[in-house]
Amino acid sequence: MAKKILVTGGTGYIGSHTVVELQESGYNVIIVDNLSNSSIDVLDNIEKISGIKPAFENFDLADKDKTEDFFARTPGIEAIIHFAASKAVGESVEKPLLYYRNNLVSLMNILECQIKFKVLNIVFSSSCTVYGQPEILPVTEQTPRKDAESPYGNTKRVNEDILNDTIAANSQLNAIALRYFNPVGAHPSALIGELPLGIPNNLVPFITQTAAGLRGELKVFGDDYDTPDGSAIRDYINVVDLAKAHVVSIKRLLTSKNKASYEVFNLGTGNGYSVLEMVNGFEKVTGIKLNYKIVARRAGDIEKIWANTTFANKELGWKAEKGLEETLLSAWNWEKNVRGIK
Ligand code: UD1
């Protein structure tokens, strides 16, 4: 029997790619999502790729009664991947309570149900935002975490602590927190990808929407950083590579050997690219000239960060494989598909 995996936030950007990879590895996926930042159509597109329409339930995991009811009538879940969360940094500064409620309460509800219904394994979506601006690069999992710059960032940090403390007090539970660097790109089929509501905050959707004519001009936030070309540096990881790391993490949790009860992994490529390198890379691979302008730094941005991936490579036996050009092209193919551009 295929092992049953609950994917919360499974119609979202990283969630949908992970559902496909899980299905292609033989897992039976059930999605819970409240569609607050995704569309029900994603289920059909997942089916077009994998041939399997995942089971789906629409409710809010911050609702304790609904969450308990779900676990009570859904036996046999072997592991959970918890993506469902709010993720807009700026919005979190304006609506901190919304972010603390959505992101902390949902994890606490899930953990309480895990204990009650004996679902022993969870993978949690964390972020490299917990490192702030590190003193030493690249960052390892031992790099100290810093105070968060935003309520959003703080929910990632506090949720890691909630997991750690809960696992310490419940010896049967196992958890892996995955600290994502900057997930970008889309499935090679161009059937699923990132679809921000409104004006994108993140760089790659802004680039592809500018190329598609939805945005007049890309603003490059700062060219006076201490980096070779002055623009900020990030570790951009292909979302399919990232999704595969979740499958490996699930396998690790489901096989009793090789697991400590709470583990943390950096998921990046180990390479840093500047904003201007991203712009140039996009222009080169698509042949489209981007209209962009250098403007002031964005408040709260760090200068540079990229991952040391040794621990993930060695312990998970996983490595990011896709190069930047392939990734940028996949983002563009997805944007073209969404906008009906030939
Ligand atoms: C942001 C969040 C991070 C979160 C991640 C989720 C902040 C400070 N950090 O990361 O906590 O986990 O999104 O994906 O918001 N840029 C431009 N022009 C744009 C957009 C971005 O120049 O229109 C630059 C930014 O200044 C940054 C780089 O591109 O240097 C990447 O930005 P972005 O994609 O927003 O990701 P992060 O800020 O790294």
Band of residue 1 on the pLDDT scale cut at 50, 70, 90: confident
Band of residue 181 on the pLDDT scale cut at 50, 70, 90: very high
pLDDT (0 to 100) of residue 165: 97
Q: Which of 298, 304, 324 to mutate to test the pocket of ligand 1 (most atoms within 8 A of CB)?
A: 298
The tens digit of pLDDT for each residue in 212-223 reads: 999 999 999 999
Closest CA to 85 of 69, 66, 72, 98: 98
How far does the centroid of ligand 1 lie from the alpha carbon of residue 297, in Å? Answer: 11
Band of residue 183 on the pLDDT scale cut at 50, 70, 90: very high
Contact (CB, 8 A) for 67 and 44:
no
Share of the chain above pLDDT 90, in %: 97
Rounded Cα distance between 101 and 212, Å, is 36
The tens digit of pLDDT for each residue in 222-267 reads: 999 999 999 999 999 999 999 999 999 999 999 976 667 999 999 9
Rounded Cα distance between 35 and 305, Å, is 31
- Write out the DSSP string of 248-271: HHHHHHHSSTT--SEEEEEES-S-
Closest CA to 78 of 142, 3, 1, 158: 3
Domain boundaries, the chain: 4-184+236-267
The tens digit of pLDDT for each residue in 126-144 reads: 999 999 999 999 999 999 9
Average pLDDT over residues 177-194: 98
How far does the centroid of ligand 1 lie from the alpha carbon of residue 182, in Å? Answer: 8
The tens digit of pLDDT for each residue in 73-100 reads: 999 999 999 999 999 999 999 999 999 9
**Mean pLDDT, the chain, whole residue set:** 97
Q: Is the pTM of this model over 0.95?
A: yes
Is 100 an annotated catalytic residue?
Answer: no
pLDDT (0 to 100) of residue 257: 66
Rounded Cα distance between 59 and 151, Å, is 24
**Closest ligand 1 atom, residue 297 Cα:** 26
Residue closest by Cα to atom 36 of ligand 1: 202
Architecture per CATH, domain 4-184+236-267, reads as 3-Layer(aba) Sandwich (3.40)
Residue closest by Cα to atom 14 of ligand 1: 182
Average pLDDT over residues 295-314: 97
How far does the centroid of ligand 1 lie from the alpha carbon of residue 63, in Å? Answer: 30
Residue closest by Cα to atom 4 of ligand 1: 129
pLDDT (0 to 100) of residue 258: 61
The tens digit of pLDDT for each residue in 143-157 reads: 999 999 899 999 999
From 131, 152, 180, 225, active-site residue: 152
Rounded Cα distance between 154 and 148, Å, is 5
Band of residue 338 on the pLDDT scale cut at 50, 70, 90: very high
